[in-house]
Amino acid sequence: MMLNISQRKTVKHWATGLFAWLVALILFFPILWMIMTSFKTELQAISQPPLLFWETTFDNYILIQERSDYLKYAFNSLYTSVGGTLLALIIAVPSAYAMAFFPGKYTKDILLWMLSTKMLPAVGVLIPIYMITQMGGLLDSIYPLILIFALMNLPIIMWMLFTYFKEIPKEILEAARMDGATTRDELRHIVMPLSWGGIASAGLLSLILCWNEAFWSIQLTASDAGTLAALIASYSSPEGLFWAKVSAASTMACAPIIVFGWFCQKQLVQGLTFGAVK
Amino acid sequence: MNSQSNISTQVQHKWLNVVNLLKAPSIILLLVWMIVPLSMTVYYSFVEYNLLYPGPKLFIGLENYSYFSTDSAFFPALFNTLVLVGSVLTITVVLGLALALLVNQPFFGRGVVRVLLISPFFIMPTVNALIWKNMMMDPNYGIFSVIADFFNVVPINFLEDLPLASIILMVSWQWTPFALLIFMTSLQSQDTEQKEAAQLDGAGFWSIFRFLTLPHLARPIAIVVMIQTIFHLSLFAEIFVTTGGGPGFASTNLAWLIYRQAFLAFDVGVASAGGVFAIILANIVAFFLIRAVGKNLTE
């Protein structure tokens, strides 16, 4: 059978679409399965063959809140992520602005050095940090976590902001200055409006990284300041098969950030490409 | 004339101060964040210090180092660390590229497909590890064993028999979407006219990919490699939740080995020596990476 060009295009279009959907569903399947399992009873969760249709139950969610106080951990996650992100932004925005608009001789070296501090493995400094925190009586408190989260993400935030600020055309600023704009006017009417996108995307990435951070949360917190990541890690001990409950807890731990990520997808990507995309 | 130029240098000086004042906090904070713990780690690595045996911290030279490096787990851990980073990088870049090219084609429901594809990136590592450990890889009830049963094959006990590969699978599943996100955006900015011209000249898919798309993606690839290396060199949560470094040392990386030494054996001295090894390794990798990639980033 011969197909003309437009028919061939349609076939190709449908074939690509089917294939892409198949791949997407396979890669999304673990998440889907987690959500499905969270609405099953423990017996249904491990039934063989796996159940695709069942009577949904919300018991797991109620139990998780009752037994391990999900909300407390959720708020700890929220405070530490937002706190760490805000702190990092407060430090990084002026610095990155100064480096992008008034670069010195060593600005690029400093930025590369900053990135290289990210290469220091956290585990290499775990003991000192643990001891300093202990000496300050701040184990299992959210404050050291906020500070650590801020410092941990600072280099990446600096990079994202620097590349973003650098893209702002200097000619606009010069033109404004010629028209008699003061530095304050410049900042308020030109720099800030043009850089909201970059600040937002750096903040978004930082929020996601903080929310999902597991190493420091597991090591430095227990029942008081524990974050959701630490709560989930505590379910890893094999005390039996509690897949449905673990799934419910996991779903609740990830849902806020996944939904958040979906909505901010475009914004997030803008900064992540580090000016690689023009 | 003279006085005018004086004023302008004065203004410049004032400006320079403000600029330096703005730059300083980030630099100083990171410097402190790096130097204080680092020097403590180096100090502990030269003394005898075990939390179980309190006493004076005696200087013992390189003993902690030799103890750590002659541990039978040292070389497997070093090897595993490199295999982990290398494999995850290869898988995520190749798969991310393929997926980006795929979703760059027009088809129905592309927006939803994209959302589904990038979702794993937002999952927290501990949840990621638990999903795979329980619901996917469990030898009795996991989805993989169900599939194996369907084809009448003996199910693989992933975490027992292929621990490192299992962890590579989990991490790659999480980070492929990251590569995809970045490649996808870069592909959208590719010059379509150039591509169409090449097509008219009879260039096939592969030569367009090789000579137009790949060079266009050089910088995004550099970014993906750089950021992922930073995160995977000290991979911890996935091992903590699933294999605990085992069986044996099969899935122990440097980070896990140090953690075990410090928090399970309480030997701060030896663990600190391990920390120094980890830092040296990271610096070697960083040196090559920044030389290869960093230039690409600052230009």
ipTM score:
0.85
What is the DSSP secondary-structure string of B145-157?
HHHHHHTT-PPP-
Question: What does the pLDDT look like over B149-194, one tens digit per residue?
Answer: 888 888 788 887 888 999 999 999 999 999 998 888 888 877 777 7
Higher pLDDT, B97 or A187: B97
Amino acid at B229: T
pLDDT band at A266 (very low <50, low <70, confident <90, very high): confident
pLDDT band at B23 (very low <50, low <70, confident <90, very high): confident
* The pLDDT of residue B273 is above 80: yes
Give the 3-state secondary structure of residue A253: helix
Q: What's the token pair of residue A140?
A: 């299992």
**What is the per-residue pLDDT for A25?**
93
Task: Count, in order, helices (H) and strands (E) of chain B.
Answer: 16, 2
A138 shares a domain with A24: no
**What is the per-residue pLDDT for A91?**
92
Amino acid at B149: D
* The pLDDT of residue A47 is above 80: no
Task: Count, in order, helices (H) and strands (E) of chain A.
Answer: 13, 0
- Least Cα distance to A210 among A265, A158, A145 occurs for A145
Q: With an 8 Å Cβ cutoff, are A95 and B30 in contact?
A: no
Radius of gyration for chain B, computed over Cα atoms and rounded to the nearest angstrom = 25
Mean pLDDT computed over A44-63 = 79
**What is the per-residue pLDDT for A274?**
60
* The pLDDT of residue A277 is above 50: no
> In chain B, pLDDT over 90 holds for what percent of residues?
16
A154 shares a domain with A54: no
Exposure string over B288-298, b if 16+ CB within 10 A, otherwise e: ebbeebbeebe
Question: What does the pLDDT look like over B95-109, one tens digit per residue?
Answer: 999 999 998 888 888
Q: Which residue bears the tokens 């002659």?
A: B70
- Least Cα distance to A88 among A43, A11, A151, A130 occurs for A151
Do the domain assignments include residue A244? yes
* The pLDDT of residue B61 is above 90: no
Burial (Cβ within 10 Å: 0-12, 13-18, ≥19) of residue A218: buried
In chain A, how many domains are there? Answer: 2
Amino acid at A201: S
* The pLDDT of residue B2 is above 70: no
* The pLDDT of residue B243 is above 80: yes
Q: Within the 150-209 window of chain B, which residues sit less than 8 Å (CB to CB) from chain A?
A: 173, 176-177, 181-182, 184-186, 188-189
Max avg pLDDT among A83-92, B1-10, B266-275: A83-92
A157 shares a domain with A45: no
A95: distance to nearest CA of chain B, Å?
4
Output the furthest CA–CA distance in chain B (Å, rounded): 93
Residue A73 contacts residue A231 (beta carbons within 8 Å)? yes
Alpha-carbon span B283 to A189, nearest angstrom: 42
* The pLDDT of residue B299 is above 70: no
A245 shares a domain with A166: yes
Burial (Cβ within 10 Å: 0-12, 13-18, ≥19) of residue B269: buried
Max avg pLDDT among A231-240, B170-179, B287-296: B170-179
Do the domain assignments include residue A218? yes
Mean pLDDT computed over A54-74 = 83
Q: What's the token pair of residue A62?
A: 């109620």
**What is the per-residue pLDDT for A201?**
85
A41 shares a domain with A91: no
Q: Which residue bears the tokens 């690409």?
A: B296
Alpha-carbon span A202 to A156, nearest angstrom: 8
* Interior angle at CA B261, CA B259 and CA B265, nearest 5: 120
Mean pLDDT computed over A22-40 = 91
- Least Cα distance to A102 among B20, B64, B150 occurs for B20
pLDDT band at B11 (very low <50, low <70, confident <90, very high): low
**What is the per-residue pLDDT for B264?**
75
**What is the per-residue pLDDT for B1?**
42
User: Which residue range(s) make up the domain with A137?
Assistant: 70-272
The CB-based long-range contact list for A10-19 (8 Å cut-off, 24+ gap) reads A13/B105, A13/B106, A13/B107, A14/B107, A16/B102, A16/B105, A16/B107, A17/B107, A17/B108, A17/B109, A19/B102
Q: Which residues of B fall within a CB distance of 8 Å from A243?
A: 134-135, 141
* The pLDDT of residue B242 is above 70: yes
Phi/psi at A240 (nearest 5 deg)? 130, 180
* Interior angle at CA A253, CA B125 and CA A141, nearest 5: 85
Q: Which residues of A fall within a CB distance of 8 Å from B230?
A: 115, 118-119
**What is the per-residue pLDDT for A149?**
93
A178 shares a domain with A214: yes
Q: With an 8 Å Cβ cutoff, are B185 and A261 in contact?
A: no
- Give which of A110, A111, A123 to mutate to test B binding, by max B Cβ within 10 Å: A123
- Least Cα distance to A213 among B249, B236, B9 occurs for B236
Q: Which 8-state DSSP code applies to residue B51? A: T
* Interior angle at CA B230, CA B228 and CA B235, nearest 5: 85
> In chain A, pLDDT over 90 holds for what percent of residues?
19
Q: With an 8 Å Cβ cutoff, are B99 and A23 in contact?
A: yes
A108 shares a domain with A11: no
Max avg pLDDT among A27-31, A43-47, A52-56: A27-31
Q: What's the token pair of residue B145?
A: 């064993």
Question: What does the pLDDT look like over A147-185, one tens digit per residue?
Answer: 999 999 999 899 888 888 887 877 877 788 788 777 777
Q: Within the 59-118 window of chain B, which residues sit less than 8 Å (CB to CB) from chain A?
A: 99, 102-103, 105-110, 112-118
How many residue pairs bridge chain A and chain B with CB atoms within 8 Å of each other? 285
Do the domain assignments include residue A277? no
> Residues near B42 by Cβ (< 8 Å), separated by ≥ 6?
B272, B276
Phi-psi region of A221 (alpha: psi -120 to 50; beta: other; left: phi over 0): beta
Q: With an 8 Å Cβ cutoff, are B126 and A229 in contact?
A: yes
- Give which of A16, A21, A126 to mutate to test B binding, by max B Cβ within 10 Å: A126
pLDDT band at A85 (very low <50, low <70, confident <90, very high): very high
* Chosen domain end from A34, A59, A84: A59
**What is the per-residue pLDDT for A172?**
79
A192 shares a domain with A118: yes
Higher pLDDT, B202 or B5: B202
Amino acid at A107: T
Alpha-carbon span B171 to B167, nearest angstrom: 6
Do the domain assignments include residue A107? yes
Q: A230 pairs with which residues across the strands?
A: none
**What is the per-residue pLDDT for A239?**
56
**Cβ atoms within 10 Å of A266's Cβ, excluding its own:** 10
Alpha-carbon span B58 to B219, nearest angstrom: 50
Question: What does the pLDDT look like over A242-251, one tens digit per residue?
Answer: 888 888 888 9
A265 shares a domain with A173: yes
A158 shares a domain with A109: yes
The CATH code belonging to domain B63-298 is: 1.10.3720.10
Do the domain assignments include residue A50? yes
Cα separation of the two ends of chain B: 39
Do the domain assignments include residue A144? yes
- Least Cα distance to A215 among B266, B125, B265 occurs for B125
* The pLDDT of residue B32 is above 70: yes
What is the DSSP secondary-structure string of B78-91?
HHHHHHHHHHHHHH
A206 shares a domain with A174: yes
**Cβ atoms within 10 Å of B74's Cβ, excluding its own:** 18
Alpha-carbon span A124 to B134, nearest angstrom: 30
Average pLDDT over all residues of chain B = 83
* The pLDDT of residue B298 is above 70: no
A85 shares a domain with A29: no
